[in-house]
Amino acid sequence: MTETRPRPVLAGKKALVIGIANEDSIAYGCAKAFRELEAELALTYLNEKARPHVAPLAESLGAKLFMPLDVSQPGQLEAVFERVTRDWGKLDILVHSIAFAPKADLQGGLLDCSAEGFAKAMDVSCHSFVRMARLAAPLMKDGGTMFAMSYVGANRVVPTYNVMGPVKAALEACCRYLAYELGPRKIRVHPISPGPLKTRAASGLKDFDVLLTAAAKRAPVGELVDIMDVGFTCAYLATPYARRLTGDTVYVDGGVSIMA
């Protein structure tokens, strides 16, 4: 008698992952984890300069859709969801893993942050997730899961995090309110707070190596997390095994966040 193995829990699910810059990106870890559980992928790249770095990763993951997306450019976000609607007609998983602030505003203190820099950081890093949720929700006809990437600097002072602290705090608050508004539609929303990771975005933070060293020393597990730790956490949260979880910030940091 031939034994029939159960299909992976995300088989047939459609996942849109936004924010892959290279193989060190948190978004890549998420996409890879979803693919291991046999979800179908739609991936984006920032612009033509970024495409050569992302295209091989999309190909290796067998991404069904591969599209440009700069959320600060009018119409591009809508074009991505129009393509998803046309080709898939549905969506089950959305990952928002993008953040930006002008270098001068990011590396200076909050008192010195310009109004323009603050607005740009808030638009790209926070409000774009609200815009994505608005476009994704109608496609999540049978429910779904949305993720946005945060950091512990959203609710505790990390001296070098500067303007991104208030911006990520706003992002986590948006996730909670979206979880409330979308809950009746069986759509769950999770702010994910990874520990420090060597990503391209993080390299823009002043003294980031110091943060990495401190996190490794303070983590109860004795080491830093990696992008696959974040990816597999999101994959779990996207499955029916986490069907009653929504809204709360999920820390993927080896326990650093529990330490005084």
Backbone phi and psi for residue 99, each to the nearest 5 degrees, phi listed first: -155, 150
Backbone phi and psi for residue 253, each to the nearest 5 degrees, phi listed first: -145, 15
Active site residue 151: yes
Instruction: Compute the 3-state secondary structure of the chain and give helix, strand, coil in percent, each to the nearest 5.
Output: 45, 15, 40
Structure tokens at 255: 């326990």
Structure tokens at 236: 């779990």
CA 191 from chain centre, in angstroms, equals 8
Give the whole-angstrom CA distance, residue 108 versus residue 172.
Answer: 23
- Out of 28, 45, 151, 251, the active site residue is 151
Q: What is the SS3 assignment for 254?
A: coil
- Out of 28, 45, 161, 251, the active site residue is 161
Q: What is the SS3 assignment for 94?
A: strand
- Which residues, in sequence order, are CB contacts of 103 under 8 Å at separation 6+? 204
Give the whole-angstrom CA distance, residue 140 versus residue 247.
Answer: 17
Give the whole-angstrom CA distance, residue 211 versus residue 197.
Answer: 9
Give the up-direction half-sphere exposure of residue 70: CA atoms within 13 A in the CB hemisphere. Answer: 10
Catalytic residues: 151, 161
